Amino acid sequence: MAHNDQMSVEEEEEYIFYYDDKYLYNEKWYHISFPTDWAKSHEESTGPTMCENCDHFGSIEGIFLGYCANCANYIYNGERGRGFIDVGQESTDENVLCFDSIFDTYLKDVDINQILSIDDTIIHTNYNSDDEYVNDNDMGNSIIDCHFENGYNDF
Ligand SMILES: [Zn+2]
């Protein structure tokens, strides 16, 4: 009887490089909270490498956070969030309020105002200067506060 448990599960064609609170995949930086499954499964013409809107509106400091409103609605039908209409700003269109906000799901505990560009992250980590970077809520909390409790989708 042949034993077939020689499956080398190690071989990973799709390499993900983790750095601080980010990861690099396919030459794009993603926030660590962005599901890697999604990063590996962008539908054609969506996501930061294939959609300019995703790349621009869905990223902060060059770190990808989520899809643009077009992709989120028309391609993913809300399964990957409501979509960004501006940098750091999710769509609040009536049609999408029934979808889960990414600020309630994978970005729940992320302060997007604290996101550093990869250059700043590297400088920051190298100098290891503990907590000089504490600028708490001096701006932009309004963005995060605009949650809508109704029309919640439980999957
Ligand atoms: Zn897009």
pLDDT, residue 148, reads 45
What is the Å distance from ligand 1's center to 47 Cα? 6
**Residues lying with their CB under 5 A of ligand 1, a single-atom ion:** 51, 53-54, 68, 71
Tokens standing for residue 108 = 């729940």
**Angle in degrees, CA 72, 111, 26, rounded to 5:** 50
pLDDT, residue 139, reads 45
- Whether 92 shows a pLDDT value over 90: the answer reads yes
154 DSSP 8-state letter: P
pLDDT, residue 6, reads 52
| pLDDT tens digit sequence for 35-61 | 999 999 999 999 999 999 999 999 999
| Pairwise CA distance, residues 77 & 106, whole Å | 17
pLDDT, residue 14, reads 73
pLDDT, the chain, mean? 83
